[in-house]
Structures are given as C-alpha cells and as structure tokens.
Chain A
C-alpha cells in the first residue's frame, strides 16, 4: 500500500510554531507597561483620527471589520481623545412660537445656559402666579377697577333713570313686565287701563300714542347703548389689567433680560413672553383660584407644572452642563425616534394632543457638535432610520418627522419644530459586506461617508510584535481586573492567536476571542487558588471551550466510527478518495472527512457534478469541478475529441457543499478512475487546483487535518495515514498538540503537495509520468494510463459513430 515517507512530509517543527516563554522579556504581565491601544491597526486608526479632526462636511467614517476586533472600543477611545480638544458645543432648546404654536422655535444657547434659562422661566411663572393675583386683589387695583365699572355702569344707570324721570314728567309709566319694558299713560297718578284708554277721544289717544311711541324709541336707544358701554367698560378694564400686569411682569422679567442680555435669540423670545404674559394675565389669576388646595402652601406651589403655563416653558433638548468636552454619543438602539428625536402626544378628552414641551431629543441632538457612533447593521435594520440619518447629514439639520407622519397613518395634531442645525461626525461600525453593499447600492453613502477605517484581521508576528502583543494582553487583563498573566500563558495565547489567524506567521487581531479565553482561564486560576494565570489555565480554557462546542463534531465522528458515514482509513480503492471539509457553526469550525467518488465511461465530454445537479453545490464548488474538465481536456489526448462521461459526488452529503478546496481530491479520484489505479485510503486530501494542475492553498487547513486525524486516531493510527495539503498552506499550520505528537512519532504525516502529478504519485504509489520526446506519457504511469483510457473512449466513440452512419446508409438504401 502506498504511503508517504518522512522526506515527503512537513517537518515536525513546522506543524505548529512554538513561542518560547523564556524568550519573552518578562515573567508576568504585571511587569509590563500596559498598552491600551490596538496593535496592527495603524491604517484604521489614522482614518478614525482624520474623521475626528477634519472639519469639512461629509467626512463621516465607516469602520469596517469583523466582530471582536475592538472596533467599538477603538472608535470610542480615539474620538473621545479628539473630542477633548474640541470646544463644548452650544446647547439647544425649544420654546413656544407665540404666533404659530405648531411651529416651535429653537434657541441656540451658549453652554451652560439652557437649564438656567429653563429654571428662570419656571421661577418667573411661579412668582407671577403668586404676584399677579395679589396685585389684582390689591385695594389699589380694585379701586381703579370699580371706578371704571362705576363710570360706565353709572352712565347706563343714569340714562335709564333720566329716561324714567322724563317719562314720568310726561305722564308715562315705565313698567317692567316678564317680556320687557312697557310704557303706559298715567292719569291721576295711576296707569291708564285699556277701557279707560278706549273711552278717550281719538285726538287724545293719538297724542298718547305718539308720546309713547317716541318714548319707546328713546328707551330702545338707551337699552341699545348698554352693550356699547359694556364694551367700553371691558376695554378700559383690559387696559387697566394690562397696565397692572405689565408692572409686575416687567419688574420680574427685567432681571432675566439682564441675565441673558447678550443672547439675541433669547432677548427676542423674552420680549414675546413679556407681551404674552401681559396679554394673558388672566391665566395667572385662574391658576391661583385653586387656592390652597393640596398639601403645599401657596408660596411653594409649582405653577409652572400647570399645562396652561407650558407656553412659557423652555424645553431643553441638549444641555452641556455635565460635560466639558465635545460629546461622543453611542446609540445602541438607533430607531428613527432615537436618532432624530420624537414628538410625544397625550390623550385629552379622547384626542391626542401635543405641544413643544413634548419634543424629545434624539442621539443626533445629543451628539451635535461632536461625534455619534452607530452600529451600521442596527441602523439599517430599523425602519426609516438610515433614511432619516442620511437626510439629516445631507441637509445639515435635524428635522423631526415621526414614522406615523411619514407613512400618513396618523392623523392628529402635530408640530413642525424649527430644524436644528447639525454639525456632527458619524462613525458607522459594521461588517465589510455591509460597507461594500452600501458603496454599491447607495449613492448617498459614498457622498456622506467619505472615510473608511478598514480593520486588519491579523498582523505580522515579529519578535517586537509579540512583545507588543503581550503588552496588549497585559493591558486587557489589567482593565478587566484579571490576574497577571505568566509568560508561558502569554506564549500559549499567542500560539492560539496564530491559530485563530490561520497563519503561523501572523497574529490574530480578534482580541475579543482571545479576551474570552483569558477571562475563562482567569476563572480556572481563581478556582485553583493561584495568583497568576498560567499556561495550563489557558490550555484548560481552550480545551473546555472546544469541548463545550464539539457536540456535533463528536456525533459526526461517532457516525464514522460506527460505520454510518462510510470513510475508509486503510487499504486502497479505485476512484475513491477522502476529501476534507470544514463545518462552521457560528464562530466554531471543525474539519470532517467526506468520501468523494468518481465514475467514468464513454461519453461526449460531460463531467457531471452531482452536487450541482441536485443544487446542493455552491458556485465555487461548481467552478472547481469545471476546472477539472479544463485540466483533463488540456492535458490528455489533445488530438482527439474528449469522449468521457464522468460523475463526481460527495458521498453522504446531505447539507450542501461549497468552496473549491476539494477540487484536487476530485481530480485525484477522476484520475484514479480513468487510470484504474487505486488510491490509498489512509490519506486524505485538501487543496484546490487550477487548469494547469497546480495545487492551490485553501482555508481551514488545521481543522481539516485535525478532522481526519481524529477519525484515524479513533481507529488506531497505522503510520500510513496522513493528509495531503497544498504546499502553500505549510505556513498556516498551527496544529493541536495531539497531531504534532503523532507526526513526531511517525504515526501521521502532513504532506505538502504543489502539483497534481506530485499528489497522484503519493496517493497511488505510481509515477505520474511526463511526456517524453515522442510526446507520449510512459505507458505504466498514471498519466499514460489516463491518456490511453481517454484515447480508447475516443476511438470507440469514433467507431460507434461510423457504425451508426453505415446503419443509416443501409436503412436509407
């Protein structure tokens, strides 16, 4: 049975790169100067710093990279540092628009002003609600008011009295009746009765009638004049009220106006407030009519809470009282409302109402003048949030529009607040795929997000880099309040980092994953009652983490061992090979062997990929299979039609397959089937192939090797087992210790392969064969036998075609 020897195998020392703890310049991370930044991300850091410093519009930034790379932390830290050098931005508040209440006005206020203005206005309302009623109750006011009422009331009363006297002088009585005033003639001091009137002669009746008619008109005139006098009285009282209110309002407001004298917008607003308060002094009188109801005495009642005084409130949207630098705001739930703010409503008498005091700020308000950090996926997945964010950035102002309003599904009183000018730098953090989709599909995105910070996945593992990496780990341990980490533990973590990077020459920058291991290791350190995290703790954390996630892997291996999944690890078979695939479940990956078989016969050049036919193969896999066809047609029997019918299948594959990492294995199976030379089943193969027969590197090489090793190990290692990997993948080897130990003991081999010819020789133990001067492969070589088989197919096909033509000729004759 063919099997590779040591000379063909990867040297033991290259199966896993070791970091020597003794070479590290410390015993524990406690000795190291902590490093809080990120390593290996200089390009991304520069981009973020530029976004933080540049003042021009639209230089927002998209921070792209994978989860767990410290993007959020880095963006937060860098932008906070930039924010510290920026001035505290202005504050914003909404106030009533006394001309159009549904269009609240925004005030731009210097830092530290908004809350003070709000407090002053509340105190003003509270004071006036006490002082205005007191003033209106005063003797001074009452005397003036009564004088006005007496003046105008007296005019009407005098007119009535004088009319009554005039009528009496003309012997006419003014009689009140249930339906109005009646005038009746008087004779001898008594009202003339109807029969007495009828007894009078006509002239006298006419005289009486004329007199009464005239007096009726006079009385009507007196009564009609009453409303006019009442209006004059009301106007005079209103003027008195305004004058009275003006005295106290002006006195109170003078202090506020002095306090905010330098702010033109506030001065204009205060002037309107003063005018409105004077015109609506009745509000303060009505408020005081509640008297001393409630537990608090009049002097400490908070009138500003009353809805009728909302008109004088200051709705502070953004206050900078608690900060001393430009804001750096992170919005974890970037809904439309949370981004641009919202207008709340309350139900009153069955209807929804609102006013400017119910405008609530969003993240854009809070971040205005500073930085806003958002998760791209969340923004994009919230209805209308992305659209609203772009709209605000493009227009340079925050306009609040509710979703209901946008969709037209809500019909209620709403507001159109003044848009607030926006000056913010947005940092979107997301995956690369999202970035590329946005670049491709959203024209606005390219205009608005001119910067990108692309996070590296890995960095070079030079000696200096390893020490810096150790400082990063030490810094992480210190920030997370973990125990100091010993040098051997750091070495173990760095090795794990290389494995995560899938490259023994690189260090993974997925600090989140390493942090998880370190924290779990710290837990085991604590359980063992030790003070320093040791290599054994790291190993325990890795091993237990692996175990927790390996249920499916173990079940698959169990199926193989029990013969449910057919995998041979010994012997040799024609047209059958062990391929290797990687199964990904979340962030956990493991390798798993799959049987690949090939069958051939005479045909018309069809290479059937059964996975593709049943739509279980992805596009990359299909591409790989088509490359095989190209290799075969360009390598063998170049002077004859390609007359092969072949089929390839991943046996017992029920979940689909993608990627081209099995294309070399498929080609080996095909060659085996064509050459009718068996392939050693103790070997598994991974690697893709091009049309020239070069074996190309693939991903997940460690997991694939370990997957097959596990199968072989469970059945007992024979020394003839191993994995053929692309030679270019040797640098990526960071295998688990079990595999390395077996290899060192000569029980398992990792064989680098650069070409298909090299691979087929190892798999079959038969020389691949090269074309000689005569242009032919040696007859006994694999290639020679393949070519002979293909020639045979072609000849038979030609003969078959000739027979068919002759049969046809005979038939037609």
Chain B
C-alpha cells in the first residue's frame, strides 16, 4: 500500500496536448500545495498516432462534432510546439506560486506506457485528459482489494471538494472492502464498463494495490474515464514488475 502523505513526491503531469494538460492543472495545483515537492510536465507525442496524420485523405472528428481533414504532420507538430510553450507557462506559474521545483519536457511514445516508464520511485503520475463536453462529474476512487487506505480516501475527498464534485468509491465484489464502499462490480470489465458510462471529474487508482495493476489496465482506465487520472503506487509496481516492458505498445480501445 502506498502511503501518499508520508513524504513529498515528485508529481509527473503527462498529457498529449495542452488541452489535456490543462484539465489536470487544477489537480496539480492542489497536489503541489499538499504533497508534491517537484512538478514535472511531460508532453507526450505518440509517434504512431502522428504517423497516421501522414495518410492522405485522413479525417478527424472535432470535439464540436465536425468531420474535417486532418492537419498535416508538420502542422500537428507546430501545434504541439505551441502546446508545449503553454504547458510550460501554466505549470511554471503553479510551481512558482507554491515555490516548487519544476520542469516541462517533451517525449515521444504512447502516453500511459511512456510515462510509466519514465516515472521514478517517488513519483505520482497525473494523466491529463480533457473531457469532450462540459459538466461536473464525480471523483472516482477505485478501491484496492484490501480496502481504501485513509490517505487515498482523504485525497479523494479533497479532490471532490476542490472540483466541487461528488465522491464515489468503487471496488470489485470480491474485494474485502466492497461492502463498506457500497458500489462494486463483479470484475474489472464490469467496472470499466460502468466507468465508461458515467461522467467522471477525476479517477484515482493505486497500481501497487490494484485492482488495476498493469499498464494495459491503466490505459483502459484512462481510455474509458475521459478525465484526468491520478496514479498512485507506480514506483512500487515497477519494482514488483507489474508493469511489464511488453505493455508499452498501443492497443485498440
């Protein structure tokens, strides 16, 4: 179990664009004042995704629901350059406000796997993801099988207050704390299915405690949540080998 408040952590905020990063900056600000001693922003460029923009006639669907021609790779990279500058400016402001060390870097690779790979032993991972539509969702704490640690629950409450959202703690039926949580599902698939159908403001998972422990599972959580995901226990998982190198490849949702 990861004791998140026992010491100061480095917070890694990873996102594929500044729009996604901005969705996580509110949470980053909260964590910067309470538990993060250093802020590291990582703007990930998924080269496999970027390569798809090279296909002639490729189209994308915008957040507003328009089908338009995909920009060229060059324009996409130029947009990412702008995003990187904006990310640096915004994160720097938060870090200066709380007198924290900070940096922003660009990296290539799949977002989840790439960040898990570079995250250090004492890191918290915050995966930024902007929701396609407005509205207030719930802060979801995915309880480990052994029950929700007090500090994880506290973090969930704090996030819910900050985001003015309701807090929901969920688990699998088989978990020890399922009765106390009140919302549980038969297995991970059911839980993910539920998660994909509710409006979430943020999701908190502890990879070291489960029930989701692998990069593949984390990616699934991120894909269905469509909101920022705070990942705890990442370093412990890496030590335990739960995150396998082979998990780094992109899988279809």
A157 to B193, CA, bound (A): 11
Asked if A175 and B52 make an inter-chain contact with CB atoms under 8 angstroms apart, the answer reads: yes
Output the least CB separation between B56 and chain A (Å): 9
**Interface residues on chain A, number (Cβ under 8 Å):** 49
CA A168 to CA B193, docked complex, whole Å: 14
Asked if A673 is at the interface (CB within 8 A of a chain B CB), the reply is no
Q: In the complex, which residues of chain B have a beta carbon less than 8 angstroms from the beta carbon of A153?
A: 135-137, 198-199
Interface membership of A407, Cβ < 8 A: no
Whole-angstrom distance between the alpha carbons of A190 and B224 in the complex? 18
B67 touches A (CB below 8 Å): yes
| Residue from A176, A191, A216, A230 whose CB has the most chain B CB atoms within 10 Å | A176
B80 at the A interface (CB under 8 A): yes
CA distance A184 to B50 in the complex (A): 12
B64, B76, B193, B197 interface centre (most CB from chain A within 10 Å): B197
B57 — nearest CB in chain A belongs to which residue? A209
- Interface residues in chain B, defined as those with a beta carbon under 8 Å from any beta carbon in chain A: 16-17, 19-20, 48-49, 51-55, 57-68, 70-71, 76, 79-80, 83, 129, 132-138, 166, 193, 196-199, 223-224, 226, 249-253
Would you call B133 and A230 a contact (CB within 8 A)?
yes
Judging by beta carbons under 8 Å apart, are B198 and A150 in contact? yes
Complex: chain B residue closest to A209, CB-CB: B57
- Cross-chain contact B252 with A178 (CB below 8 angstroms): no
Quick one: closest A residue to B136, CB to CB?
A: A149
* A690 CB, min distance to chain B CBs, angstroms: 103
Please state if B252 and A186 are interface contacts (CB–CB under 8 Å).
yes
Q: How many A-B residue pairs have CB under 8 A?
A: 138
Within 8 Å by CB of A230, from B58, B83, B134, B193, lies B134
Binds B, one of A217-225, A386-394, A533-541, A792-800: A217-225
Assess whether A224 is in contact with B250, with CB atoms less than 8 Å apart: no
Q: Which residues of B contact A194 (CB under 8 A)?
A: 51-52, 54-55
Q: Binding site of A, secondary structure by majority: helix, strand, loop or mixed? A: helix
Q: Is the CB of A161 within 8 A of B71?
A: no
Chain B nearest CB, measured from A153 CB (Å): 3
Closest to A217 in B: B67
Q: Is the CB of A226 within 8 A of B65?
A: yes
Say whether, besides A184-B52, A216-B59, A223-B64, A178 and B79 are in contact (CB < 8 Å).
yes
A26 interface hit (Cβ, 8 Å): no
Contact B60 A230 (CB under 8 A): no
A: residues with CB less than 8 A from B are 142, 146, 149-150, 152-154, 156-158, 160-161, 164, 168, 173-184, 186, 189-191, 193-194, 197, 209, 213, 216-217, 219-227, 229-230, 233
Q: A146-B166, A160-B226 are in contact. Are A179 and B62 (CB under 8 A)?
A: yes
Contact A173 B135 (CB under 8 A): no
What residues of A have a CB within 8 angstroms of the CB of B54 in the complex? 194
Q: Give Cα A707–Cα B70 distance, bound, in whole angstroms.
A: 116
Given contact pairs A180-B61, A182-B49, A197-B55, A190 touches B252 in the complex (Cβ within 8 A): yes
The smallest beta-carbon distance between A448 and chain B, in angstroms, is 65
Partner of A191 from the list B52, B59, B197 (CB cut-off 8 Å) is B52
With contacts A150-B199, A224-B64, A230-B135 known, is A179 near B224, CB below 8 A? no
A102 to B44, CA, bound (A): 56
CB-based nearest A residue for B199: A153
Identify the closest chain B residue to A224 (Cβ): B65
Q: Across the interface, do B60 and A156 meet the contact criterion of CB distance under 8 Å?
A: no
Given the known interface contacts A190-B251, A220-B67, A226-B65, the answer about A161 and B60 at a Cβ–Cβ threshold of 8 Å is no
Q: A146-B166, A177-B60, A186-B252 are in contact. Are A157 and B196 (CB under 8 A)?
A: yes
Q: Closest CB of chain B to A416's CB: distance in Å?
A: 41
By the criterion CB–CB under 8 Å, are A168 and B61 in contact?
no
Please state if B65 and A223 are interface contacts (CB–CB under 8 Å).
yes
Instruction: Report the nearest B residue to A152, measured CB to CB.
Output: B135
Contacts of B136 in A (CB 8 A): 149, 153
A residues near B138, Cβ cutoff 8 Å: 146, 150
Most buried by A among B17, B61, B65, B137: B61
Q: How far is the CA of A179 from the CA of B88 in the complex (A)?
A: 19
The 5 residue pairs across chains A and B that have the minimum distance between CB atoms: A153-B199, A224-B65, A178-B17, A223-B65, A161-B196
